[in-house]
């Protein structure tokens, strides 16, 4: 295998670890909703000489020489972002989602200003005002929640906005399975004079593919990562809409200044090139088919799980993810199910559920989604098999209890993990998962 040939000669330890991770991905089901598989073209762009260049500033406005081709790369990424999302302004330099959102605060707020965001345990994101994030430390954060049915509480959003008059309102989520109501939030933001920012990191690919409502007509600012449903590198973008420029003609410039020199140094040019490649892929007709198949697969998976007695928050999904509520079996069960599924070759993540009875580190839910397995070509038929395996694993571990005592808790979890390797159900599911993965190879070129 010629892949990693130079790395094997230069640093066999690193090459061995990379190879093991490739094998883990190739023969397992990656079902964490925020993860996906980048194309070989995207990964090739990241491994180019562009990583050698320093280019503080923006195209045609650099602090270093020798950037004529870097300028072209970044401008290409900007132009494609504007075309893909239908916006007049785009910044492709943020290193990841959190710095992108931080730049929005710097561009629109002063320290201590009131902001309104989606509560983390209810499916929101750390940077939307959660207390342990900079956004909750440096700003007066008001948090909205979901109703008992799992849908956003729009009445609470209206009440908080009218009472608190926030400078900035966030709409977006990391564990919310329903379509984001951009239009309803826009009416609230317009009424109180707030900036409205849509964090579409999770659903950006669905938006581009027409499988989710588009935020651009309703919000002032759009942020997104590039590595989830967009299938790009680990980066981020900030976009300003026509509506945003009407509210503040200088908003685009304020965003750019917030990113650099406000929060970051030189951009990662190799990542910028890979973002351009991913956006180019998103412009192809087959990407729309991919986006719609993600949603079809998620709905099929959720329906099959519910048919087999698994509780899903909001009783289904409109997008790429779902949240399993394990409280029918007790609190804090998420870690058991996550670890057992991991041992079975199915990667998910433990997650809080609305009104979480346990804690974020030992939550009572599991979050899973379909972007990565859809990239492999799997469809509704495969979702039924995957749902059956998940049901089997939940049934196998649901009786495990999490001790209140932290010392005993660690002991119990360690013993639990050790026992998974000899568990018959886990071994059977693992074998069946491998067989399914062989039918839908991920990177066959790398195994030639």
Q: Are 348 and 367 in contact (CB under 8 A)?
A: yes
Q: Extract the tokens encoding 177.
A: 């399975």
DSSP secondary structure letter of residue 180: -
- Identify the sign of the CA torsion 145, 147, 150, 155: negative
Distance CA 394, CA 308 (A): 11
Distance, CA of 437 to CA of 156 (rounded, Å): 44
Q: Which of 19, 54, 158, 254 is catalytic?
A: 54
Of 19, 35, 56, 254, which is the active-site residue?
56
Q: Please state, in angstroms and rounded to a whole number, the distance separating the CA atoms of residues 5 and 236.
A: 31
Taking a C-beta distance cutoff of 8 angstroms, is the pair 208, 282 a contact? Answer: yes
What is the CA angle 63-66-67, rounded to 5? 70
Reduced 3-state DSSP string for 302-333: HHHHHHCCCCEHHHCCCCCEEEEECHHHCCCC
- 10 Å CB burial of residue 439 (0-12, 13-18, 19+) is exposed
CA-to-CA separations, 275 to 30, 248, 253, 267, 272, in angstroms, rounded: 22, 27, 21, 12, 5
- Of 53, 167, 178, 228, which one is the catalytic site residue? 228
Catalytic residue among 199, 304, 325, 356: 199
Provide the β-strand partners of residue 29.
346
State phi, psi for 69 to the nearest 5 degrees: -85, -30
Q: Is 199 a catalytic residue?
A: yes
Phi, psi values for residue 261, rounded to 5°: -95, 10
What is the DSSP pairing of strand 346-347 with strand 29-30? parallel
User: Which member of 82, 234, 288, 384 is catalytic?
Assistant: 234
Give me the residue label for tokens 């270093």: 64
β 195-199/168-172 pair status? parallel
CA distance 133 to 117: 12
Residues in the chain: 448
Q: Which of 108, 225, 241, 352 is catalytic?
A: 225
Give the number of C-alpha atoms closer than 13 A to the C-alpha of residue 96, restricted to the C-beta side: 4
CA–CA separation, 215 vs 222, rounded Å? Answer: 8
Q: Among 323, 283, 303, 278, which residue's Cα sits nearest to residue 121?
A: 323
56 is a catalytic site residue:
yes
148: left (phi over 0), alpha (psi -120 to 50) or beta: alpha
For residue 228, indicate whether it is catalytic. yes
Active site residue 122: no
Alpha-carbon distance of 427 to 246, in angstroms, equals 59
- Which residues are designated catalytic? 54, 56, 199, 225, 228, 234
């Amino acid at each position: 295998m010629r892949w990693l040939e130079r790395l094997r000669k230069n640093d066999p330890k690193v090459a061995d670890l990379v190879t093991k991770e490739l094998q883990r991905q190739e023969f397992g089901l990656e079902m964490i909703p925020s993860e996906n598989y980048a194309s070989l073209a995207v990964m090739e762009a990241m491994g180019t000489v562009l990583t050698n260049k320093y280019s503080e500033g923006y195209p045609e406005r650099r602090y270093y020489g020798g950037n004529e081709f870097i300028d072209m790369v970044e401008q290409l990424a900007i132009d494609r972002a504007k075309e893909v999302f239908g916006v007049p302004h785009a910044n492709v330099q943020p290193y990841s989602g959190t710095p992108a959102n931080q730049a929005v605060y710097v561009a629109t707020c002063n320290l201590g200003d009131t902001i309104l965001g989606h509560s983390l345990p209810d499916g929101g994101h750390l940077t939307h005002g959660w207390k342990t994030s900079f956004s909750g430390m440096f700003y007066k954060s008001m948090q909205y929640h979901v109703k008992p049915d799992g849908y956003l509480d729009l009445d609470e959003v209206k009440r908080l906005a009218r009472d608190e008059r926030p400078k900035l309102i966030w709409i977006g989520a990391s564990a919310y399975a329903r379509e984001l109501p951009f239009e309803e939030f826009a009416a609230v933001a317009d009424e109180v004079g707030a900036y409205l920012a849509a964090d579409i990191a999770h659903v950006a690919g669905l938006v581009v593919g027409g499988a989710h409502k588009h935020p651009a007509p309703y919000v002032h600012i759009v942020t997104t990562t590039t590595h989830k449903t967009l299938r790009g590198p680990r980066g981020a973008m900030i976009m300003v809409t026509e509506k945003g420029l009407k509210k503040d003609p200088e908003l685009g410039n304020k965003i750019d200044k917030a990113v650099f020199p406000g929060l970051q140094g030189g951009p990662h040019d190799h990542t910028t090139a890979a973002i351009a490649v991913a956006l180019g892929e998103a412009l192809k007709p087959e990407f729309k088919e991919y986006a719609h198949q993600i949603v079809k697969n998620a709905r099929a998976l959720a329906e099959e799980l519910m048919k087999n007695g698994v509780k899903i928050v909001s009783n289904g999904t409109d997008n790429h993810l779902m949240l399993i509520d394990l409280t029918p079996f007790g609190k804090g069960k998420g870690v058991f199910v996550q670890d057992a599924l991991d041992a079975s070759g199915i990667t998910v993540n433990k997650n809080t559920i609305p009104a979480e009875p346990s804690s974020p580190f030992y939550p009572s839910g599991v979050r899973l989604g379909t972007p990565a397995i859809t990239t492999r070509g799997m469809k509704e038929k495969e979702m039924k098999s995957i749902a059956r395996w998940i049901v089997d694993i939940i049934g196998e571990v649901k009786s495990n209890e999490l001790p209140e005592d932290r010392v005993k808790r660690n002991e119990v979890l360690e013993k639990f993990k050790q026992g998974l390797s000899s568990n018959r159900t886990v071994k059977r599911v693992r074998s069946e998962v491998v067989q399914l993965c062989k039918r839908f190879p991920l990177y066959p070129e790398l195994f030639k």
